[in-house]
Amino acid sequence: MHSRAYFLLERDFQELKENNFKGITAFPVSEDLMEWGADIEGLQNTFWHGLFFQLKINFISQYNFVPPVVKFLTIPFHPNVDQNTGRACIDILDDPDKWNTSYTLSSILLTLQVMLSNPVLENPVNLEAAQMLIKDESLYKQEVLRLFNQPTQLRNNSPEFPKDQDKLIRSTKAISFNDYYKTWSGIATSKATEYYRSPLLEDPNFVVEYYKWKKAELQHPKEWNLK
C-alpha cells in the first residue's frame, strides 16, 4: 500500500506535467517516488541563462509535513549553495518552521531557479562567492562561468535519466517578470541586501498566487532583466 507521500508526489508530478515552466526538468528515479532527479536552467536575461544544473531530491514518507533534502549535483559557485555538499541553503528547506504544506515540488524548483540570479547575501554558506559578488560583480560572473565549465559535481550520486520520456518533465513556458516577481516576492532565506533588486522573500499564500498565475494568459511574456 502506498504512503500518503506517494500520492502527494503523484499530484506534484501531474502539476509539473500541466505547467511546463521554462528551464525546469524533473523526473522520479525510484518506484516509490521518494527520489527524484531534476535540472534547472537560469532565468532568461540573466547571465545564468543557458547554464543547467543537475539536482537530486530525496523525500521521506512524512512529506509534505517536512521538506525534502535537495542537493545540487552540478554545484554552482553561489552564496546560497554549499560548495562541498551541494546543499541548497534556503529557509523553506532548512527550517521546519518556515516550511509550509502548501509548497510542492514545482514551488521548490521554481524557488531554486530564482535563487540562482537572486542570491541572499546575508549569512551566506559560500562566503567566498558572497564576498566576490559584493566586491566585483563582473569578476563574480566570470568565476561562475569559469567554474561551470569545470564543474564541481557529485558524480557518483547523479540520477539516471529515465528512458521513458513520459517520465521526464521538460518545461517550455515563459514566465513574465511581473508574475514571477509577484509570486516569488514572498520566498527567501533571509532579508536580502539592496545589492540585488529582486530578492527572494517568504510568501505563505504561495498556492493562491500560483494558481492565479498559471491561469494567466501570457502571450508576450516580458522576461527578467537583472543585468
Residue 150 has pLDDT above 50, yes or no: yes
- 59 catalytic? Reply is no
Tell me the mean pLDDT in the region 67-89. Answer: 96
Residue 155 has pLDDT above 70, yes or no: no
Tell me the mean pLDDT in the region 165-186. Answer: 42
Torsion angles phi and psi, residue 37, rounded to 5:
-115, 155
Parse the chain into domains and list their residue ranges: 4-156+165-198
Q: Is the four-CA dihedral 29, 34, 208, 198 of positive or negative sign?
A: negative
Report how far residue 118's alpha carbon sits from residue 185's, in angstroms, rounded to the nearest whole number.
11
pLDDT of residue 203: 43
Record: fold of 4-156+165-198: Ubiquitin Conjugating Enzyme (3.10.110)
| Coil, helix or strand at residue 19 | coil
- The answer to whether 133 and 77 have CB atoms below 8 angstroms apart is no
Q: Which of 74-78, 117-121, 202-206 has the lowest mean pLDDT?
A: 202-206
Residue 154's pLDDT band (boundaries 50, 70, 90)?
A: low
pLDDT averaged over the chain?
Answer: 76
Residue 187 has pLDDT above 60, yes or no: no
Helix (H) or strand (E) holding 209: helix 206-215
pLDDT tens column, 62-77? 999 999 999 999 999 9
Q: Considering the chain, what percentage of its residues have pLDDT values greater than 70?
A: 66
Tell me the mean pLDDT in the region 55-59. Answer: 97
Residue indicated by cell numbers 514566465 = 175
Report how far residue 137's alpha carbon sits from residue 150's, in angstroms, rounded to the nearest whole number.
20
Q: Which of 89, 132, 133, 192 is catalytic?
A: 89
Residue 190 has pLDDT above 60, yes or no: no
- The answer to whether 64 and 35 have CB atoms below 8 angstroms apart is no
